[in-house]
């Protein structure tokens, strides 16, 4: 089994040069986030990922979780690893210092989170959800709720979940039936929730559930949903967990992947009703939950990036060691390592370049999120928040779709051995596959993008992004490097295709929403490829400049240029075809009647 090593040089490069650390350190509260501090954080995260989490990834997948006499057990080593994670203070990197967090930028927290997902995605799911629950309570919880729960959740001593889905509802949250009946200063919660990640486990002292439910007089549909904090164990006035609340895990799902992460069917209120506490106002629960869901959507895209990186490293190391067949352009009859064969090189470059592009775009969004949260100028904050809103579904869907493709290619690099579980390549594919489904399927992400983020605002933010890319292209014209010229030519054609598709969406949305929706997924991929291509071209430009000045590691910079060229040659070329799918492809979709399938 190949070892995992966090790509620290790549992470530093994107943070410091591509996204830019200086604009982040200029933000209030980020003045001390200097390169040396960033390096130290990434180094220590890399050690925990490589030495503690990665070694139990495959064994955790094989062992899985179990439900014994009402108690959920995680695989061997997971409770101990989580204890080390908490003791290291990793859970509160980006959390408010008021509640014991470190108040670091999202840009740094995002890079660190990638390490957890790459080294052990099933493990990383638990703190990922807790982080989202912390953000939710911080934004919408009362002072009393924050006083009871925030500090322990920020530290990671208590973990958080989100309870949305029910058997009859799926993604249609307007059909949620879980009940919340008011009683004194709390509510009695009763109902069943499915697909609850880390809904129960043995790694923390308490689990704090964020539960969507309906009060007795609530209106129908999504407007009648409220949000409640429902702890596994009630909390005494001294902050110590006490008696068990009326909720339990009744079964664990048997899944394709992430087997070391317990996915629970949760039953609330079998013995009179679980005690829950209202977050904010009644009937506003879905709006509050979107704070957590948007956090998780960015995190899921990051999961894909992490798994893609791990799959790439695994395939690369195998290709270096696997001896098979002579070189196609050599005179020797001796077999060579398969990494010498052109098609294997192509596959590895495909895996590498796509992972780099999705990573850079995700880090860019994290940097914009920091500006949106901290910049003193309101217009600057609003502009950055608009970019975050636009690109969140792209990071989630494009990042996760890409991870599935990358992990699948990793199996192909292994050949027949990739189909054998013992090599570990198959696990990355099985784990990655869920990322396109949960936190809103990628089709839902595409509909959100093309509807709310493009159609309803007449493409204003998308046009701002297109303008930023064209500004980069204008500035890059002064550089006479041949590789950069090829990259800019490909990016120019791609951004023109994006602009054409965006204009068509804005115009057609006014009269034919269904036609626009038919091309939603191709549009999201188009936007992802162009955004990622922009990041790759920026990376290449920076590396070209570093080489000309003799700065940094020349091998690293030459590799960055090569990777960007590959992305332009093999992926940006898809842009015109995707634009055509958006603008013309709706006709065949609309013509298909339900009874024709």
Q: Are 528 and 398 in contact (CB under 8 A)?
A: yes
Burial 8-42 (b: 16+ CB within 10 A, else e): eebbbbbbbbbbbbeebbebeebeebeeeebeebb
- For 185, phi and psi rounded to 5 degrees? -100, 20
From 439, 489, 507, 541, active-site residue: 439
In whole angstroms, what is the distance from residue 312 CA to residue 118 CA?
11
In whole angstroms, what is the distance from residue 550 CA to residue 366 CA?
30
Provide the 3-class DSSP secondary structure of residue 28: coil
In whole angstroms, what is the distance from residue 443 CA to residue 521 CA?
6
Number of helices (H) and strands (E), helices first, in the chain? 19, 12
Q: How far is the CA of 568 from the CAs of 141, 483, 484, 533, 575, in angstroms?
A: 46, 10, 10, 7, 10
Closest CA to 122 of 189, 203, 229: 203
Task: Quote the tokens at residue 279.
Answer: 């977050």
Q: Which residues pair with 196 in a beta bridge?
A: 264
- Residue 391 half-sphere exposure, CB side, CA atoms within 13 Å? 31
**Is the four-CA dihedral 295, 297, 300, 306 of positive or negative sign?**
negative
Provide the 3-class DSSP secondary structure of residue 514: helix
Q: Does residue 439 carry a catalytic annotation?
A: yes
Q: Which residue has the tokens 């709390």?
A: 186
Give the Cα-Cα-Cα angle 501, 370, 368 (nearest 5 degrees).
15
| SS3 readout for 320-356 | HHCECCCCCCCCCCCCCEHHHCHHHHHHHHHHHHHHH
**Is the four-CA dihedral 326, 564, 434, 262 of positive or negative sign?**
positive
Task: Quote the tokens at residue 13.
Answer: 């490069």
In whole angstroms, what is the distance from residue 546 CA to residue 555 CA?
11
In whole angstroms, what is the distance from residue 273 CA to residue 156 CA?
27
> Which positions are catalytic?
439
């Amino acid at each position: 089994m190949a070892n995992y090593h966090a790509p620290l040089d790549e992470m530093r490069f994107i943070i410091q040069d591509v996204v830019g650390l200086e604009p982040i350190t200029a933000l209030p509260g980020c003045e001390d986030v200097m390169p040396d501090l960033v390096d130290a954080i990434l180094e220590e995260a890399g050690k925990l990922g490589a030495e503690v989490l990665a070694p139990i990834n495959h064994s955790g997948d094989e062992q899985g979780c179990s439900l014994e006499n009402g108690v959920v057990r995680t695989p061997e080593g997971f409770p101990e690893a989580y204890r080390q994670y908490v003791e290291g203070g990793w859970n509160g990197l980006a959390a408010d210092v008021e509640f014991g967090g470190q108040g670091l930028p999202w840009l740094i927290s995002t890079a660190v989170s990638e390490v957890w997902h790459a080294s052990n995605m099933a493990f990383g799911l638990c703190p990922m959800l807790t982080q989202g629950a912390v953000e939710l309570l911080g934004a919408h919880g009362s002072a009393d709720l924050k006083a009871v729960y925030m500090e322990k959740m920020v530290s990671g001593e208590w973990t958080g979940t989100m309870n949305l889905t029910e058997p009859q509802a799926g993604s249609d949250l307007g059909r949620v039936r879980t009940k919340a009946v008011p009683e004194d200063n709390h509510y009695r919660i009763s109902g069943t929730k499915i697909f609850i990640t880390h809904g129960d486990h043995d790694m923390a002292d308490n689990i704090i559930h964020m539960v969507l439910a309906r009060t007795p007089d609530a209106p129908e549909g999504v407007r009648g949903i409220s949000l409640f904090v429902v702890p596994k164990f009630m909390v005494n006035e001294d902050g110590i967990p006490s008696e068990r609340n009326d909720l339990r895990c009744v079964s664990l799902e048997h899944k394709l992947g992430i087997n070391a992460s317990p996915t629970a069917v949760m039953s609330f209120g079998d013995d009179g009703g679980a005690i829950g506490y209202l977050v904010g106002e009644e009937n506003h629960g879905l709006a509050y939950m979107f704070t957590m869901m948007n956090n998780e959507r960015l995190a899921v895209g990051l999961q894909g990036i992490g798994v893609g990186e791990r799959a790439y490293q695994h395939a690369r190391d195998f290709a270096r060691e696997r001896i098979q067949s002579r070189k196609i352009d050599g005179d020797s009859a001796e077999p060579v390592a398969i990494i010498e064969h052109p098609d294997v090189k192509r596959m590895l470059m495909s895996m590498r370049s796509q992972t780099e592009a999705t990573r850079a775009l995700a880090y860019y969004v994290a940097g914009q999120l920091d500006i949106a949260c901290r910049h003193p100028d309101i217009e600057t904050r609003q502009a950055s928040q608009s970019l975050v809103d636009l690109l969140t579904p792209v990071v989630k869907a494009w990042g996760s779709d890409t991870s599935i493709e990358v992990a699948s290619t990793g199996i192909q690099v292994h050949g027949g051995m990739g189909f054998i579980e013992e090599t570990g390549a198959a696990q990355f594919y099985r784990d990655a596959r869920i990322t396109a489904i949960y936190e809103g399927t990628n089709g839902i992400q595409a509909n959100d993008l093309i509807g709310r983020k493009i159609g309803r605002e007449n493409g204003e933010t998308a046009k701002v992004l297109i303008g930023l890319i064209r500004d980069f292209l204008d500035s890059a014209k002064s550089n006479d490097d041949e590789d950069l010229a090829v990259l800019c030519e490909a990016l120019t054609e791609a951004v023109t295709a994006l602009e054409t598709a965006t204009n068509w969406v804005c115009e057609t949305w006014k009269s034919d929403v269904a036609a626009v929706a038919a091309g939603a997924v191709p549009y999201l991929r188009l936007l992802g490829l162009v955004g990622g291509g922009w990041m790759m071209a920026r990376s290449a430009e920076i590396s070209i400049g570093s080489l000309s000045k003799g700065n940094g590691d020349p091998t690293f910079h030459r590799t960055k240029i090569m990777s960007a060229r590959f992305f332009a040659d093999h992926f940006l070329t898809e842009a015109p075809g995707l634009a055509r799918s958006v603008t013309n492809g709706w006709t065949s979709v609309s013509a298909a009647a339900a009874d024709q399938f």
